[in-house]
Amino acid sequence: MPDAREDDPGARLEARLATELCLPASAGAHLVAHELCRRHGDSVDAILFYGSCLRKRTPDGVLDFYVLVDSYDRAFRSRLTAVVAALLPPSVLYCEVSGPAGTLRAKYAVISRRDFLRRAGPRSLDTRVWARFCQPAALVHARDEGARDAVVEAVARACRTFVERMTLVLAAEAEHRFDAATLWQEGFHETYRAELRGESPQTVRMLYESAPARYEGVARDVLQELDGRGRIRLRQAEDGSLRVVVPPGVRRWARASWALRRRVAKSIAILGLLKTAWTFGDWVPYVLWKIERHTGVRLEVSERQRRHPLIFGWPVIYRVLRRGLLR
């Protein structure tokens, strides 16, 4: 009997992502996940490992995680920290773990499972969740099957949000040829513009080229869902290519909506950056390292600027913004 998922693009997408999330992660990622569970205790529902260290299968650099919790009050000891976390999720923190091969450095975001699911969806004004988790991730900890299913649902929602929004926003004509590389790479450029992230075209290209078949498969599943809903229309051209037909009114509305959402998202990202200055700890060396790693630009700061960046660091912050290093 044929698998019912073959005829249901939504079920096929979720099955694809469930398999992907369960792929093995490095021992270092599991070691950090264990430490994060220790830090935040029984509040932890799930932990997702994502980013460049996952793609490159290396512990070099800073490992990236999202920690999904059931309650901010239970996740943080400080009531003030919990309140701020609920007002502007996620809260970004830093940790170091000693492993067999040396020190592992990790940056992690704490967010409630409910907020994570909301921010993966199309109504979210914050791009940070759906723009990250339309990309591959590994589920390195789940409290139970309910938590695992919720993560699959949220990641599938993030993929749907990205593909639908970028398909409509990037459509130059009412009908265009589907090209996965163009959709994802130009889409990533758009989401980076909505945040203070300085990613080069080469980095974006490498991001797509790390898993082109995966990205194409995800896009086709979502496009078939959209076709079934009447949001777009798919047709096979005589040359065998897949053509995407977007109604002009839908395209105009999507572009206008995205222009507004992008500005709001950038404002949210700025607020999040200011909040991170409080939650992250000694964040200045990390930010400088990140800028140099992604742009090749090395910035120097004095000891006074490092210790009190929000008081004495504005000349450096101004240079960063003027050069567009964090766009």
Q: What is the average pLDDT across 300-319?
A: 66
Residue 310 pLDDT class (50, 70, 90 cuts): low
Residue 322 pLDDT class (50, 70, 90 cuts): low
Structural domain includes residue 327? no
Q: What's the pLDDT at 281?
A: 63
Report CA torsion sign: 157, 158, 163, 164. positive
CB 169 within 8 A of CB 258: yes
- What distance in Å separates the CA atoms of residue 324 and residue 327, rounded to the nearest whole number? 5
**How would you class 165 by CB atoms within 10 Å of its CB: exposed for 0-12, middle for 13-18, buried for 19 or more?**
buried
Q: Looking at the structure, do residues 182 and 77 belong to the same domain, yes or no?
A: yes
Domain containing 314 equals: 283-322
Q: Looking at the structure, do residues 310 and 258 belong to the same domain, yes or no?
A: no
Residue 327 in this model has a pLDDT that exceeds 50: no
Q: Which range among 86-100, 220-234, 279-293 shows the weakest confidence by mean pLDDT? A: 279-293
Q: Looking at the structure, do residues 106 and 203 belong to the same domain, yes or no?
A: yes
Q: Which range among 6-20, 72-86, 187-201 shows the weakest confidence by mean pLDDT? A: 187-201
pLDDT digits (tens, 9 = 90+) for 73-90: 999 999 999 999 999 999
Q: Looking at the structure, do residues 79 and 8 belong to the same domain, yes or no?
A: yes
Structural domain includes residue 59? yes
Q: Looking at the structure, do residues 247 and 300 belong to the same domain, yes or no?
A: no
Q: Looking at the structure, do residues 294 and 189 belong to the same domain, yes or no?
A: no
- What distance in Å separates the CA atoms of residue 273 and residue 126, rounded to the nearest whole number? 13
Q: What's the pLDDT at 325?
A: 47
Structural domain includes residue 128? yes
Residue type, position 303, single letter: E
Tokens 């059931």 sit on residue: 70
pLDDT digits (tens, 9 = 90+) for 222-237: 999 999 999 999 999 9
Tell me how many domains the chain contains: 2
Structural domain includes residue 151? yes
Among 261, 276, 291, residue at a domain's last position: 276
Q: What is the average pLDDT across 155-164?
A: 98
- CA distances (Å), 244 to each of 47, 178, 183, 188, in order? 36, 6, 12, 20
Q: Which range among 98-112, 205-219, 302-316 shows the weakest confidence by mean pLDDT? A: 302-316
Torsions phi, psi of 240, nearest 5?
90, -10
How large is the angle between the packed helices 248-279 and 145-170, nearest 10 degrees? 130
Between 320 and 219, the more confident residue is 219
Q: Looking at the structure, do residues 212 and 293 belong to the same domain, yes or no?
A: no
Give the tokens for residue 164: 């639908």
- What distance in Å separates the CA atoms of residue 110 and residue 103, rounded to the nearest whole number? 22
Q: What is the average pLDDT across 187-207?
A: 86
Between 100 and 4, the more confident residue is 100
Torsions phi, psi of 73, nearest 5?
-60, -35
The verdict on whether omega for the bond into residue 122 sits within 30 degrees of 0, i.e. cis, is no
Q: Looking at the structure, do residues 215 and 86 belong to the same domain, yes or no?
A: yes
Dihedral (Cα; 11, 140, 286, 282), 10-degree rounding: 120
pLDDT digits (tens, 9 = 90+) for 39-48: 999 999 999 9
Structural domain includes residue 211? yes
Q: Looking at the structure, do residues 217 and 301 belong to the same domain, yes or no?
A: no
Residue 309 in this model has a pLDDT that exceeds 70: no
Q: Looking at the structure, do residues 172 and 268 belong to the same domain, yes or no?
A: yes
Residue 249 in this model has a pLDDT that exceeds 80: yes
Residue 296 pLDDT class (50, 70, 90 cuts): confident
Q: Looking at the structure, do residues 45 and 119 belong to the same domain, yes or no?
A: yes
Q: Looking at the structure, do residues 210 and 289 belong to the same domain, yes or no?
A: no
Residue 134 pLDDT class (50, 70, 90 cuts): very high
